[in-house]
Amino acid sequence: MSELPPLFTPFSLRGVTFPNRITLAPMCQYQAIEGVPNDWHRAHHGRYATSGIGCAIVESTGISREGRISPGCTGIYNDEQVEAWKPITALYRAQGIPVFMQINHAGAKASTKRPWDGMDPLDEGSDEPPWQTVAPSAIPAREGWHTPRALHESEMAGVAADFAAAAKRALAAGFDGVQIHGAHGYLLHSFMSPWSNRREDGYGGTLEGRMRLPVEVARAVRAAVPDDVPVMYRASCVDGEGGGLTLDDTVALSKELKAAGVDLMDCSGGGIPAGMRLAAMKTGPGFQVPYAHRIREEVEIPSMAVGMITEPQLANEIIAEGKADMVALARQMLREPAWPYRAAQELGLEDPASILPKLYAFYLKIAA
């Protein structure tokens, strides 16, 4: 038997084994009603549950109603939502693909319109009225956006408890683990960034203060789930242009998160100041891989690379060269849900169709 390309080797975190290193990155669908996923989400995930990926991370899902980004965002704060997620996790389970939920509080970037409605703050004419947003400091995420209310020190334990309750509900819905969303300008990232966190109490100021809420959340989530359940953390490793968060800060955060029981750092970037879309950052193939590489080496924690990884050769090299343990793809998987099969073919997997569901594999093998 020939040696497996590194991209197609299994990888484990705690009690969960991923059949390969290809991850479906979390992608908001903006099509839920009152946080409840529906036919759209089932169809969307059906495409990927049959694609041969090694891990799926479902979209940013609100830990509370106010924590949703938009009225179309999914939630995990009530029983109806737990029930509605079950058929989606079942799709992945039937194919042996571990599935994670990204749990989030959108902070100052909550209460926004769906992308196709402009992604501006909700207003009185929107299908759902705007709601009061919260943040470390009363600074709008962007000029003209809602002014958030600065969270009081006494409210921090409640935020951590909401994340922990969300993690428990995610497991009840059949998820294999959770990913804490600490990126893209949402609540936890906004605590990390000196641009958005101007607090002078124990939750701001020094790097230690800025890290405090993210670390408390990680501890609370770890304590809420069994030992064999992995917890991932997605960080914006650096702010966008004009922000203040540095990679050194994120290395320090990763050390603390590792000690708090986080198992993998998913290394993204940007989101503060808001409006710095990916296109506005210096992007190119694998542009965020250096973050995943440095954190993996320096913190000795598994890492995930994401951002313009579109070609199998690049994805395979990232794993082969030890720059990350897993790779996540978002837009390329929208373009090409059969990407893992193409990757298996191009990287010379002995039996490329073997990564697909058995019926597909059976017929593709006959056709080969």
Ligand X SMILES: Cc1cc2nc3c(=O)[nH]c(=O)nc-3n(C[C@H](O)[C@H](O)[C@H](O)COP(=O)(O)O)c2cc1C
C-beta closer to ligand X: residue 203 or 339: 339
307 counts as binding ligand X under rule CB under 6 A: yes
Whether residue 203 lies in the annotated active site? no
Of 26 and 204, nearer to ligand X (C-beta) is 26
Q: Near ligand X by CB under 6 A, which window of 8-16, 87-95, 244-252, 301-309?
A: 301-309
- Which is nearer to ligand X, 198 or 331 (by Cβ)? 331
Any idea how long the chain is?
Answer: 368
User: Total residues at the site for ligand X (CB under 6 A)?
Assistant: 20
Residues 9-28 that bind ligand X (CB under 6 A): 25-28
Is 181 a binding residue for ligand X by CB under 6 A? The answer is: yes
CB of 109 to ligand X, least distance (A): 11
Q: Which is nearer to ligand X, 204 or 243 (CB)?
A: 243
Tell me, letter by letter, the H, E, C secondary structure of 75-140. Answer: ECCCHHHHHHHHHHHHHHHHCCCCEEEEEECCHHHCCECCHHHCCCECCCCCCCCCCCCEECCCCC
Q: Mark the segment that binds ligand X (CB under 6 A) among 42-50, 155-163, 242-250, 330-338.
A: 330-338
Of the residues 30, 48, 77, 186, only one is catalytic, namely: 186
* Closest CA relative to residue 273, chosen from 194, 215, 201, 204: 194
Helices marked H in 288-356: 289-299, 312-320, 331-335, 339-346
- Using CB under 6 A as the binding rule, whether residue 31 contacts ligand X is answered as no
- 184 contacts ligand X (rule: CB under 6 A): yes
The yes or no reply on residue 305 touching ligand X (CB under 6 A) is: no
Residue 235 is a binding residue for ligand X (CB under 6 A): no
Instruction: List the beta bridge partners of residue 11.
Output: 18
Handedness of CA 348, 45, 169, 218 (dihedral sign): positive
Distance of alpha carbon 294 from alpha carbon 303, whole angstroms: 9
Tokens representing 292 are: 């995943």
1 or 279: whose CB is closer to ligand X?
A: 279
| 233 is a site residue for ligand X (CB under 6 A) | no
**Per CB under 6 A, which of residues 334..353 are in contact with ligand X?**
none
| Amino acid (1-letter code) at residue 262 | V
Nearer to ligand X, 150 or 253 (CB): 253
The alpha carbon torsion through 13, 16, 21, 23 (nearest 10 deg) reads: -110
CB nearer to ligand X: pick between 320 and 334 = 334
Per the DSSP assignment, residues forming a β-bridge with 62 are 75, 104
Is 268 a binder of ligand X (CB under 6 A)?
yes
Contact 327, 21 (CB under 8 A): yes
Beta bridge partners of 267: 235, 305
Degrees to nearest 5, angle at CA 180 with 179 and 182: 130
Q: Which of residues 59-88 bind ligand X (CB under 6 A)?
A: 59-60
At closest approach, how far in Å is the CB of 309 from ligand X? 6
Minimum distance between the CB of residue 349 and ligand X, rounded to whole angstroms? 22
Task: Note whether 330 binds ligand X by CB under 6 A.
Answer: yes
Q: Which is nearest to 142 in space by CA: 203, 201, 195?
A: 195
The three state secondary structure string of 218-254 is: HHHHHHHCCCCCCEEEEEECCCCCCCCCCHHHHHHHH
CA 187, CA 104: separation in Å to the nearest integer?
8
332 binds ligand X (CB under 6 A): yes
**Quick one: DSSP state of residue 116?**
G
Instruction: Write out the two tokens for 209.
Output: 């203060």
Please tell me whether residue 196 binds ligand X under the rule CB under 6 A: no
Q: Which stretch binds ligand X (CB under 6 A): 31-39, 122-130, 303-311, 318-326?
A: 303-311
The catalytic site residues sit at 186
Residues at the site binding ligand X, with contacts judged by CB under 6 A = 25-28, 59-60, 102, 181, 183-184, 234, 268, 306-309, 329-332
